[in-house]
Amino acid sequence: MIDLLYPIANLTGKRLDIFKKSILSVDTSLFRICIADAGSFPSIPLDTSNIFNYGWYPEEGLFNKSKLINLGVKNLIRSNTFIVCDADIIFIYQQENMIIDAGGYFLSKPKILCDFKEDWIIEHSYGIGKCFITNQNTFKVIGGFDENYIGYGYEDIDFAASYYLLKKKPYSFINTLTMHLDYQQENSTDMYKENNDRNKYYFDMKFKNYKPFLETIYSGIRNRKNDTNSWAMRP
């Protein structure tokens, strides 16, 4: 059994409903659900029955996902290989393929991650947002997630870029299927855009000396996505 970590904050309404669907889609005979909860209030009632490995880390201001993932891995994760998953991911089938005892440096995503909002487009991003699988060794060597990313955006691309510099290749695929049930951003304000732009600038400055190399990795990811999309679109 390996740990599956949800970093969440201030879930209400539709976002909370989708999170409940995500939890129900997890095969708990294979995975131990860990929830790192932050924000100004608990998203779920404090777990007194030990159904989940639960941690509450109250925080005011903009959500720092990097910090919450780091806290969750440090305090809640016990397995060598583990999954970090957004609250709006639904696991469809072949979850058993994610049970991996990986050694060395390891970073992977579901082979098919369909984005519901984009008409079932298969998503292979440059980063490892939404759902990724790694191990303690990789997380430790990279140093976890960079907590200088405030709000949403680029923290996952940063972690992946550090992995690419280690392994000189993109993340790998796990032969399983997940679905991204996106919801309308409730915080898609000028402040959200401002912080996303700030995160992009920080990322560009941090990795500017590696930009030519990273572009070769991104080119490989683009080609791989096109190949997979072509396969998926066949009648």
Q: Which of 39-43, 120-124, 150-154, 163-167 has the lowest mean pLDDT?
A: 120-124
CA-CA distances (angstroms) from residue 8 to 15, 124, 180?
Answer: 10, 22, 15
CA-based nearest residue to 115, from 178, 183, 180 = 180
How many residues are present in the chain? 235
Fold classification of 2-232 is: Spore Coat Polysaccharide Biosynthesis Protein SpsA; Chain A (3.90.550)
How much is the pLDDT for 151?
79
Nearest to 176 by CA among 115, 112, 107: 112
Coil, strand or helix at 132: strand
pLDDT in tens, 155-193: 999 999 999 999 999 999 999 999 888 765 554 445 466
Dihedral angle of Cα 222, 224, 228, 231, to the nearest 10 degrees: 110
